[in-house]
């Protein structure tokens, strides 16, 4: 499963999300919505206006969601 994090510079919630994913040993790719027009369009098309946006398979969410990261880690471990 590919995990994508749509982020922007100097975003506290983005940094917290990336650190939590790293602590959970979840590999992910980062897209900067301020530099990548396609990434920005992806986020807006999903209905989000806040960063970060995490897309994990069919699931996606916005903001720092440690509970969702923990659930994702459990799913990936099984």
pLDDT at 1 over 90: no
CA 72 to chain centre: 11
Task: Report CA 56 to chain centroid distance, whole Å.
Answer: 8
Taking Cα atoms as reference points, which of 20, 15, 24, 21 lies closest to residue 3?
21
* pLDDT reported for residue 45: 97
The pTM score is: 0.94
């Amino acid at each position: 499963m590919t995990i994508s994090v749509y982020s922007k510079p100097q975003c506290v919630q983005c940094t917290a999300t990336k650190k939590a994913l790293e602590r959970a040993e979840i590999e992910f790719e980062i897209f900067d919505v301020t530099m990548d027009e396609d990434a920005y369009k992806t986020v807006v098309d999903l209905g989000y206006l806040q960063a970060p946006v995490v897309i994990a398979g069919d699931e996606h969410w916005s903001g720092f969601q440690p509970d969702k990261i923990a659930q994702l880690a459990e799913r990936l471990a099984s």
